[in-house]
Amino acid sequence: MLTFTIRRLITSVPTLLFISLVIFLLLELAPGDPMAQVPLTVPPEVKAKMREALGLGEPLHIRYWKWLVQFFWIEPQVLFDHWFGTTFSEGKLRILSWQTRSPVMDMVVQRLPQTLWVVGMSYVVGILIALPIGIYSAYRQYSLFDQSGTFITMVGFSIPPFFTGPLLIMVFAVQLGWFPSVYDTTHVVDDWASFKIQLRQMIMPVMVLALQTTAQISRFMRASMLDNLNQDYVRTARAKGLPEKVVVMVHVLRNSMIPVVTAIALGVPGIFGGAIITEVVFKVNGIGAQLLSALFANDLPSVQTLTFMIAVLIVTFNLIADVLYGVLDPRIRYD
């Protein structure tokens, strides 16, 4: 397993480099000019100096190489300096946002806790709801619970966040007044009362994102459980007199979790895509709102960095899913 993990880590390097090149070229070839929002009264020679200051006058391969060095070498040094008080990154040029002229990673660090609060909690809640629904729906196939769960999950999977978000705001914030419609990112949790306020403002954005997670994972769980419930080893376990709870929750569930682990691991980056819309709807000042703002402003360094970070998440959780295969199923050996 260790050899396989090291081998996958090594092969992920060229994969990430290729992804970064594709992202860079797509953004460079996309229509739009960072100087488009500059007033027409600005003289052309001033615009030329502004383009030079942004690095737009350099060749493509030079700009791509500078971004690679900044992302993989300088930014880790900044993080190391922050943790250990060293000065390795002092005086080195970081990835700067064209929109704010501040380091992109500093803005990411400021906004990341808000995104993790919402996205992380929604994913955990979605999984905790989805797994029992999928297990019981498969065990009671074609029952009223199974048919109701299938209908609800299909509806939840079909409705996008930009519809469920305003719908929840209209019902629970405007009509009933139970929850706030705007997420207060400046709220600080320091006691029980402030924690309850944080919990109230998180309920609606968390449920919007958890709805799709629940629908997807519960369908995977149900299909995998049904496939294993009809296997010979299940009939053998029952014939040996094992309790039904042990048969289902130990033997069947462990084998059924193998494809579900893939869906859970690969769904982590995808939930950030839904967070972009949800953060805009509920005014959450997180990574999704930052990416959308950078797109509207043609802020290519910010868009490239944030998009590549999502790509890194996808590659990382692919590796985690493969490693968990061997943990869940002893028959799988990579070495």
pTM across the whole model: 0.77
Residue 34's pLDDT is what?
Answer: 65
176, 182, 184, 189 alpha-carbon torsion, rounded to 10°: 30
* Predicted confidence (pLDDT) at residue 28 exceeds the cutoff of 70: yes
pLDDT above 60 (res 334): no
State yes or no: pLDDT of 335 exceeds 60. no
Kindly report the average pLDDT of the chain as a whole number.
81
Range of the domain at 171: 105-332
What is the DSSP code (8-state) at residue 181?
S
Strand partners, 103: 96
Specify if 18 maps to a domain: no
* Pair 205, 118: CB distance under 8 Å: yes
Identify whether 21 is part of a domain: no
Q: How many whole angstroms from its chain centre is CA 309?
A: 10
Per-residue confidence (pLDDT) for residue 265, from 0 to 100? 79
CA dihedral 93, 94, 99, 101 (to 10 degrees): -50
Confirm whether 16 is domain-assigned.
no
Residue in 95, 143, 131, 136 with CA at minimum distance from that of residue 248: 136
Cα atoms found within 13 Å of the Cα of residue 310, Cβ hemisphere only: 18
**pLDDT range class, residue 233, cuts 50, 70, 90:** confident
- In this prediction, residue 191 carries a pLDDT of 80
pLDDT of residue 331: 65
Counted domains in the chain: 1
pLDDT at 125 over 80: yes
User: Which domain CATH number covers 124?
Assistant: 1.10.3720.10
Q: What is the pLDDT of residue 58?
A: 73
pLDDT of residue 70: 84
Residue 98 maps to a domain: no
Residues of the chain above pLDDT 70, percent = 91
Type of residue at 10: I
Residues 6+ apart with CB under 8 A from 72: none
Residue 60, in any domain of the structure: no
The arithmetic mean of pLDDT across residues 251-255, rounded, is 83
Q: What's the pLDDT at 333?
A: 61
Please compute the mean of the pLDDT values over residues 235-251 and round it to a whole number: 84
Closest by CA to 114, choosing from 287, 276, 307, is 287
Q: Name the more confident of 86 and 325.
A: 86
Residue 223: exposed, middle, or buried by beta-carbon count in 10 A (0-12, 13-18, 19+)?
Answer: middle
Residues in the chain: 335
Residue type, 136: Y
Q: For 43-47, 71-75, 235-239, which range has the lowest pLDDT when averaged over its residues?
A: 43-47
In a domain, 283, yes or no: yes
Does residue 323 lie within any of the structural domains?
yes
Report the range of poorest mean pLDDT among 34-38, 45-49, 145-149: 34-38
Summarize the confidence of residues 232-260 as an average pLDDT.
Answer: 84
Phi/psi at 285 (5° precision): -85, 70
Please give the sequence-ordered ranges of beta strands (E in DSSP) within 146-245, or none if there are none: none
pLDDT confidence of residue 53: 65
Q: What is the mean pLDDT of residues 192-201?
A: 83
Residues 6+ apart with CB under 8 A from 116: none
What value does the mean pLDDT take over residues 321-334?
68
Average pLDDT over residues 260-280: 77
- pLDDT at position 11 over 60: yes
Say if residues 8 and 319 touch (Cβ distance below 8 Å): yes
Look at residue 59 and tell me if it is in a domain.
no
Write down the pLDDT at residue 72.
Answer: 86
In whole angstroms, give the CA distance from residue 224 to residue 191: 43
